[in-house]
Structure 1
Amino acid sequence: MYLSKVSFKHSQFAREQLIKQLQNGAYTSHQLVWQLFPDQPDKKRDFLFREERIGASIGFYLLSSEPPSAAQELFDVQTKPFNPVLTQGMKLGFRLTANPTVSKKLNPDDKRSKRFDVMMHAKKQLQQQGETDKKRIQQAMTEAAQGWLMDEKRQRDFGFRIDIVPDIVASEQHHTAKKGIKGSIQFTSVDYQGVLTVTDPELFKAKLYEGIGRAKAFGCGLMLIRRI
């Protein structure tokens, strides 16, 4: 695997594309990142990316099975191999942009579950109970997002353990259009930051490569790690 840092060049063309991206939302980022693989137009997506705000501009971190093209009119690209050596009990600082969702049955007799955005579900539940205090609603939404990542089964499935509740650095509700789909796609992205302990090195590495959670086409799922 390869980890890349991608930033817009200082050119008129790059500025025009940046303005379009800022106006059109998350799916435009996905289309821009695809340009880093010009020889693979029909290949299934096998990369994860994370958008980073840099002042008035943006950049991306990109994890991919093949190195992105460095011959770019639009981007400056810095790439290095990514194959972390992990051991059980290792502590790592992490940053993660994820789309926290859960599947629930609305009624016990339902055969199918419905997928919920955990933050918006928490907000809706409080509002239905008559809560109007914005601070209390926001606190409940934050706790719901933290609870999603702190879920013990989810952590076992991901091969790590988090002992201290992670910080929510930012969260955003997105409404974005996608080619071939009527209307807009709605999802929430949450930026987590914290410390984890590796419990299953091979499983954790597989999840790093696969991505965590849903909405990967919209810049969610990539976890950045560092030794501490």
Structure 2
Amino acid sequence: MYLSRVRVATQGLDRHALVKLLSGDAYANHQLLWRLFPEAESRPFLFRQEMENEQLDAGVRPRGLPLFYVMSSLKPDPLPGLLQCEPKRFDPRLAVGDRLLFRLRANPTVTRKQAEGSRGRRHDVLMDAKWRCRNESGVDPWSIRRAMDESAEQWLRARSTDWGFELTTSPQLGGYRQHQLRRKKREIRFSSVDYEGVMTVTDPDRLRDALFHGVGRSRAFGCGLFMVKRG
């Protein structure tokens, strides 16, 4: 596997393509990043989009441009005049009990049935908690916010065993966003929230699978990629 840092190219920059990149949504940027793998017939990657800031090396000045982290089974090829790649082999050696710092942008969902016998429908975990609280009389805004955060944390805790780890402490939550995309005249809606914290490895094989292939839904739209380092 490869973990690559993908930055906007500085030489021979295609400014028209840059404008499209800056205004592009998660689906458009997913399509753009797929061009890094011209031989791939199916999507061989996960990605996380950020802006250039503290992620860059010492002495490298942030330019306020998009920055992508890409996990892939193939080595990416740069796009001249648009994207440059800094790929590194990614093959972590994990053992039970290892402590890792992690960051994760995920799309937490829950399935609810509208009526007895009806087909379940997926809901945003945070919005589900918000509306359930609002249906209770006398619930104040702080209680609603706490319920939303607790639901987001519980979503991750409930799945951590299947993904090969346990949370050492409650993760920090932030960056909650609701997204609306258009794809082939169809509207796509999903939410994302950022988790940051410490995990303890309980099953190295399961965790490696989660790192390589991502977790949760909306992986094609920039969700599901764990960023980890030794704690």
Give me the TM-score of the superposition, normalised by structure 1. Answer: 0.88
| Corresponding residue SS for 1:194 | strand
Distance in 1 (CA, whole Å) between partners of 2:96 and 2:130 is 37
Higher-helix-fraction structure: 1
- Would the alpha carbon gap of residues 181 and 217 (structure 1) be closer, same or farther in structure 2, given more than 3 Å must change? farther
* Residue 113 (structure 1) aligned with residue 120 (structure 2): yes
| Corresponding residue SS for 1:122 | helix
1:211 pairs with one of 176, 198, 214: 214
1:13-162 aligned within 5 A: 13-40=13-40, 43-54=41-52, 56-70=64-78, 72-107=80-115, 109-110=116-117, 112-129=119-136, 134-151=141-158, 154-162=159-167
- Asked whether the equivalents of residues 131 and 137 of structure 1 are also in contact (C-alpha less than 8 Å), the reply is no
* Residue 185 (structure 1) aligned with residue 188 (structure 2): yes
User: 1:70 Cα shift?
Assistant: 3.1
RMSD (CA atoms)? 2.1
In structure 1, what residue type is equivalent to 2:180?
H
User: 1:75 Cα shift?
Assistant: 0.8
- Would the alpha carbon gap of residues 163 and 110 (structure 1) be closer, same or farther in structure 2, given more than 3 Å must change? farther
Identity of aligned pairs, percent? Answer: 41
Where does the alignment leave 5 or more consecutive residues of structure 2 unmatched? 54-63
- Would the alpha carbon gap of residues 139 and 92 (structure 1) be closer, same or farther in structure 2, given more than 3 Å must change? same
Q: Which residue of 1 aligns with 2:178?
A: 173
1:194 pairs with one of 189, 192, 197: 197
- Would the alpha carbon gap of residues 59 and 76 (structure 1) be closer, same or farther in structure 2, given more than 3 Å must change? same
Q: Paired residues, what number? A: 221
In structure 2, what residue type is equivalent to 1:66?
L
In structure 2, what residue type is equivalent to 1:110?
G
* Most deviating of 188-197 and 124-133: 124-133
- Asked whether the equivalents of residues 10 and 81 of structure 2 are also in contact (C-alpha less than 8 Å), the reply is no
Give me the TM-score of the superposition, normalised by structure 2. Answer: 0.87
- Would the alpha carbon gap of residues 16 and 191 (structure 1) be closer, same or farther in structure 2, given more than 3 Å must change? farther
User: 1:141 Cα shift?
Assistant: 2.0
Q: Which residue of 2 aligns with 1:6?
A: 6
| Corresponding residue SS for 1:110 | coil
In structure 1, what residue type is equivalent to 2:87?
T
